[in-house]
Amino acid sequence: MTSAPTPTTGPVHYLSTLSFSDAWLDRLRRRHPRLEVTQITAEKAADVPDDVWRRTSVLHTGAVFPDAGQAPALEWIQLDTSGADHLEGTPAWDLPVPITSIGGISPVPMAEYVMMMVLGLAHRLPRAMAVQRSGVWPSLGERWNTLMPRTLRGATVGVVGYGRIGREIGRLARAHHMTVLGLKRGRADRSGAFFGATEHDEAEAEIYTPDGLHEFLGRCDYVIVTCPLTDETRGMFDADAFAALKDGAMFVNVARGGIVDEAALLRALRSGRVAGAALDVFDEEPLGADSPWWTEPGVLLTPHVAGFAPDYEEQVLRLVGENVERHLTGSDLLNLVDRGRGY
């Protein structure tokens, strides 16, 4: 549990373990003169001097957290990630301070990435790239049989995790005249304020809850995974889930690798149950050089880049600046992580 927000007085010691530009840090200082800003690009807690940890009240980080008792003045952790699964089991997870995420930065580029991959799978891009690498022009019969595209018009796309990213994917999918299904924990959004939140009409998406997963999968020509990794979603896509999937469906994962049983997915691909996959995330990252995913036919692979946002620094400044203002005045923070749910 975290205590209710209260206004702060005096200087606020802000530590970034990231690598923002000096210009970005100066803009943050000008917006909030009470901030005493320190940036130490770090990979682990030991990279930050003990005296800096002791005075830090606001920590902005991706994956560098203080050890127990190392940051006694800490009042709030601002993550530079959308997910919070990597905090569970760390001392930071048990601290009585709020944790906020960077959610809301990437829905548009991530949705565009997903549609790029849906179109790529529909137009047999993995096969076309193999042809290019071979340097051999295939016969008309080979092209007809192996490079004939699927039409998106009238196909059904199912988005697992129908939140900000999922709704943007749904909007783009409907532009291609696809039927949109969404799977989420419930119809009501959890309470709280979120960065970039807008009103969305879900009437154009048929909503399922997790207890209807297999029915949902049986209707999907394309399955898109965008949900957070939690105890409930870990291993969600197992052998039974792939068996329930509509035969010949395509699969796209831009969430977390641990949501998918990769061995089960590989079997589904090789059996033809899954006709193709686009994978941006894996259970172990970086992906090992001996991983079969590098060369698996029918797979489009990228190295965890779907969430990259071209205007990332500007949006992060907006989010962090707003949250600093809320912290100083004792208002509720944006993107508050719910430790009970894990995100």
**Nearest CA-CA partner of 161 in 341, 332, 304:** 341
The answer to whether residue 124 is catalytic is no
3-state secondary structure labels for all residues of the chain: CCCCCCCCCCCEEEEECCCCCHHHHHHHHHHCCCEEEEECCCCCHHHCCHHHHHHCCEEEECCCCCCCCCCCCCCEEEECCCCCHHHCCCHHHHCCCCEECCCCCCHHHHHHHHHHHHHHHHCCHHHHHHHHHHCCCCCHHHHHHHCCCCCCCCCEEEEECCCHHHHHHHHHHHHCCCEEEEECCCCCCCCCCCCCCCCCCHHHEEEECHHHHHHHHHCCCEEEECCCCCCCCCCCECHHHHHHCCCCEEEEECCCHHHECHHHHHHHHHHCCEEEEEECCCCCCCCCCCCHHHCCCCEEECCCCCCCCCCHHHHHHHHHHHHHHHHHHCCCCCCECCCCCCC
313 assigned to active site: no
Question: Pick the catalytic residue: 43, 285, 314, 325?
Answer: 285
Residue 326 CA to residue 320 CA, distance in Å, equals 10
Catalytic residue among 256, 262, 273, 327: 256
Ramachandran region of residue 334, left (φ > 0), alpha (ψ -120 to 50) or beta? beta
Catalytic residue among 143, 304, 326, 339: 304
Burial of 186: CB neighbours in 10 Å, binned 0-12, 13-18, 19+: exposed
Clarify whether 256 is annotated catalytic: yes
- Two tokens, residue 258: 């641990």
Q: Which residues are catalytic?
A: 256, 285, 304
